[in-house]
Amino acid sequence: MNKIKITFPDGSQREYDRNITGKQIAEGISKGLAKEALAVEVNGDVCDLSLPIEQDAILKILKWSDDGGKEAYWHSSAHLMAEAIESLYPGAKFGIGPSIETGFYYDIDLGDHSLTKEDLQHIEEKMIEFSNRDVPYIREEKQWDDAVDYFKKKGDQYKLELLEEFKGQKITLYHHGNFIDLCRGPHIPSTGKIKAIKLLNVAGAYWRGNEKNKMMQRVYGVTFPSKKELDDYLFALEEAKRRDHRKLGSEMELFLLTPKVGSGLPLWLPKGTILRESLVEFLRDEQKKRGYQTVITPHIANLDLYKTSGHYPYYKDSQFPPIQLEDGEAFLLKPMNCPHHHQIYSVKPRSYRDLPVRLAEFGTVYRYEQSGEMNGLTRVRGFTQDDAHIYCAHDQLKAEIKATIELTQLVFSTFGMDVKIRLSYRDDKNVEKYGGEAVFWEQAQREIREVADEMKLDYFVAIGEASFYGPKVDFMVKDALNRTWQLGTVQVDYVMPERFQLEFVGQDGQKHRPVIIHRAPFGSLERFVGILIEHFAGEFPLWLAPTQAAVLPITDAVSDYAKQVFDSLKASGIRAEFDDRNEKIGYKIRDWEMRKVAYMLIVGEKEKTNGTVSIRQHKKGDQGVVRMEEFQTRILENIKTRALTI
C-alpha cells in the first residue's frame, strides 16, 4: 500500500502518501500552521518536521505553545550556541547539550580558558549572527565507523566515548552552517526561528556526572521567539532571586545548612520547625479523618531488606555505602520507607475484612547526591517524606486511588497552587523495564483514567513515565512564578507484594496478593518548604507563619500593659513575640515589616487607657484601633480555617 492513515488530535483522520513529512502535512492544513510549526509528534515521539512518515500514525504538529515544540526549539538553540563557541574558540570539545525545563545547556571543554560574562556576551552576539543566516538543521545517518572517524579527526574524545555505547548501530549527526554534532534530534527547521537569546551563567559539571572525570564548563541559556517573551522571563528570574528560599530561609531564621554538619543535611531552626510542624499537623489531621494509621520506622535497616525490595543494588549509586559490621552483617541508611511498611503489614495474618490497611509515616530517608547537584532545601541528602502505603484488594483500588487524589488536591488547593495531572503509563514497546502481570497493568491504567474522567481532572497521559512497579498519577504544580514542580504522587504497585510475599485471605478462603498504593502529597517536607518559601515570598498564610503577631510598646511606661497583651495572645494559642527593645517605634515597625510578620500590635498610652491595641498589617499599614478580644477572635478564625489570605 502506498497510502497511510494519519489521526489528528481532534480524532479526525486523513489518508496521505507514504513517506509524507510533517512539514508537508502542516502546509496542507494552512500556511499559518506551517509557519508556526517547529516539530511533529508521531505516535508520542517528537520528530523533525522533515522526517518521512512511513506508516499509520497519531500525529500532532508542534508549535511554540507545545512542550515538544519548546523541547526541539531549545535543543536546536544548544546546537546554535555550540556553533558560536566553536567559531570563537577553535578546538573546543563538546559533551552533551540537551534542552531543559526552560532553556538549554551545553557541557564544554575549553582547556585552561574559563568563560567570563564578557565571553558570554560575545557568544550571544555570534549566535544572533548565525541565527540571521537562517540555515537549515540537516539530519544525516552514518555508519558507526564513519562517525568514529569524523570525531577522531576532530579530536573530540567526549563524542568518541558516547559513540562506544552505540557500537555497530546507525548513527545520526546534525549539521547547520559549519557545525556538525552527534545527536538523535529532534530539531526545528532552521536557525532563523531563534530570535531572542540570553546566556545566563556558567557552572562546573563533571563529565557524565562522575566526580572522577574532568570538570567541564556548563553554559546555560534560554531563547524565545520574541524579545517580549525573553524580557518577561528575565523579569521572572529576578523575582525568583528575590524569593530565593536560601536567602529568605537565612533572613527569616528558618533553617541552616553548614559544612560542619555536612552538605545537604539541613538543620531546622526554631521558627522553621514551627513551619514544618504546622505542615505535619495539617496532613496528620487529614489522614486521621481518612482512616490512616501512623507508624514509625528506624533510620537504618539490614541490607537484605533493600535487596528484597530491589532498592539495592539497582539504585546503589544514589545511596550511601552499606555499613559493614565485623560479624558480616550489613546495614544501610534508609533510602525508602516502603520496605519497612511492608514488614508492618505482614506482622499478622490479614483478611479481606481488614482491607484496606493505610499506614502513614513522616519518615526520614537518605540519598547520596553529588555535591554539585544539591540546592538549598530542594535537593538534599537527608529528607522527610510524608509517606503512606495503602494495601487493598483489586476491587478496592479505584476507590482508594480516588481518595488519595482528593487528599492531594486538598493539600495543593490549601496553598493556592494550580495543579495539572499526569497519568504516567508504561511503555508497551519496552515491557522488560516493568514488573507485574500485564492484565493488572491494563486494569490499573484503565482505572486511574476512569477516576480522572469521573473527577473531571485536567490531565494528560505520559507513556513511559510509570515506575517499574506500576502506573502512577503525578501532580504537576505551578507556583506563583509560574514554574512547574512535580510534587505529589500516587503510585500503583504490583511488584512489592510479590517480592515480600504479602497476602490476605479473600472471601473465597484463598490467599491473594494485595495491591499497594504509594502516596506522598508533599513529596518531601524539605523540598516542599523550599517551594512554599518561594511561592509565598516568605509571606506565609497566618496558620503557617512562625510568628503571627508582634507586640510593640511605644515607651517603657506602657510595657506592663503591652506584656498583658502579649500574654493574652500566647494564652489563646497565637504565636506572638514581644519587642521591648530600647528603640524608636518607627525603627521597630520597619524591622518587623522586613521580617514579614503579618500583624504588629502597637501599644501606647491611649491604648493602655482604653484597653485596645493599634493594628498594623504587613504591607497594608495602619488598620485602626480595636479591642483585644475582637482582634483575637478575628485572627483565631483565620488560623482555624487555614485561610490563604490574612
Please list, in sequence order, all residues whose beta carbon lies within 8 angstroms of the beta carbon of residue 603, skipping any fewer than 6 positions away. Answer: 551, 552, 553, 554, 558, 561, 562, 565, 613, 614
Strands 57-62 and 3-7, by their bridges, are: parallel
| Angle subtended at Cα 113 by Cα 212 and Cα 131, rounded to the nearest 5 degrees | 105
Find how far residue 609's CA is from the centre of its chain: 54
CA-closest candidate to residue 318, choices 306, 304, 326: 306
Choose the catalytic residue: 176, 338, 341, 616: 338
- Rounded CA separation 524/358 (Å): 19
Residue 176 appears among annotated catalytic residues:
no
Choose the catalytic residue: 385, 445, 548, 632: 385
Q: Which residues of 476-490 are buried (b: 16+ CB within 10 A; e: fewer)?
A: bbebeeeeebebbbb
* Residue 553, beta-bridge partner list: 603
Residue 187 appears among annotated catalytic residues:
no
Choose the catalytic residue: 181, 387, 479, 579: 387
Residue 518 appears among annotated catalytic residues:
yes
- Rounded CA separation 183/503 (Å): 48
Choose the catalytic residue: 518, 519, 588, 608: 518
* Residue 34, beta-bridge partner list: none
Choose the catalytic residue: 63, 389, 519, 616: 389
- Rounded CA separation 453/306 (Å): 37
Q: In whole angstroms, how far apart are CA 161 and each of 32, 89, 153, 418?
A: 43, 22, 14, 43
Choose the catalytic residue: 342, 367, 381, 512: 367
CA-closest candidate to residue 331, choices 312, 354, 309: 312
Choose the catalytic residue: 159, 342, 472, 527: 472
Residue 389 appears among annotated catalytic residues:
yes
Find how far residue 314's CA is from the centre of its chain: 23
Number of residues that this document lists for the chain: 646
C-alpha cell at position 622: 495602619
Backbone angles phi, psi at 414, to 5 degrees: -60, -30
* 592 within 8 A of 600, measured Cβ to Cβ: yes
Please list, in sequence order, all residues whose beta carbon lies within 8 angstroms of the beta carbon of residue 99, skipping any fewer than 6 positions away. Answer: 70, 71, 72, 73, 74, 75, 77, 78
- Rounded CA separation 342/35 (Å): 55
Strands 3-7 and 93-94, by their bridges, are: unpaired
CA-closest candidate to residue 596, choices 612, 573, 578, 620: 620
Residue 387 appears among annotated catalytic residues:
yes
Find how far residue 166's CA is from the centre of its chain: 31
Residue at grid coordinates 505516535: 43
Quote the DSSP letter at residue 190.
B
Active-site residue set? 338, 367, 385, 387, 389, 472, 518
